[in-house]
Amino acid sequence: MPGASVRVEYQEELANLEASALGGLDLVATALGRTLEAIEHQDVELAQIVVADDDRIDGRYLEVHQSLITLLATQSPVATDLRLISALLHVLKNIERMGDQCVNICKMIPLSGNEPPADEEMVRLILSMGKHARALIGQAQRAFAERSVEMAQDLVRQDDVVDDLNRECFRLALEIGDDADRREWAMTMLLAARAIERIGDNGVDIGEQVAFVVTGLFREFEDASHPSP
């Protein structure tokens, strides 16, 4: 049957699973947005919603993961399909980790008190980090969906911005002063900044998977253990 398309159902199933996995990034973007709002307003209730809602991200992970395993077992995917499934398994893990980082931050919010001795500059930095990380998540999602290696590589530049802000937070924390409450607050905020920094790294990892799907070659965009001179 020349020209006829075969295995249409399998192709549809794979496309649906990709959409479902990448849709997990929408859930993460929402969680991060709420997390930032909760930090800004010390909104303990909103933070609790983020913690409870992480079940949806975990559920998405488990559901798509199981379906991908079934596709591997039953459809013997090869070539691009195989790379895509391998990449999606990675990306699912990244998404699940990003969700967990939001939870980590939100669990700290009650600890930092309802009227914390906040340093406005540090809050501003962290919110800025969060906004950049959120944009990075959106860009990682688009890069994957469009199979754009160029857009994926640009995630490194976005992540550098997040990293710089993180270092800036650290510098501020060092100079926060002698007040014990303020120092405790600053330490907690550093952990939050660290969590957002990790979200950025997970976004870059998704970009690396885009390059793997497109080129078949895996290489780290940034090698933290062997930084370029």
- To the nearest whole angstrom, how small is the minimum distance from the Cβ of residue 6 to other proteins? 4
**How far from 150 is each of 82, 134, 139, 208, 219, CA to CA, in Å?**
22, 19, 11, 11, 14
- To the nearest whole angstrom, how small is the minimum distance from the Cβ of residue 2 to other proteins? 9
Q: Which is nearer to other proteins, 37 or 63 (CB)?
A: 63
Binding site for other proteins (CB under 8 A): 1, 4, 6-10, 69-70, 73-76
**How far from 67 is each of 13, 44, 55, 99, 175, CA to CA, in Å?**
9, 36, 18, 21, 50
- To the nearest whole angstrom, how small is the minimum distance from the Cβ of residue 65 to other proteins? 12
- To the nearest whole angstrom, how small is the minimum distance from the Cβ of residue 78 to other proteins? 11
Q: How far apart are CA 109 and CA 188, in angstroms?
A: 9
Q: Which is nearer to other proteins, 84 or 156 (CB)?
A: 84
Q: Which is nearer to other proteins, 74 or 215 (CB)?
A: 74
**How far from 3 is each of 6, 80, CA to CA, in Å?**
9, 20
Q: Which is nearer to other proteins, 6 or 224 (CB)?
A: 6
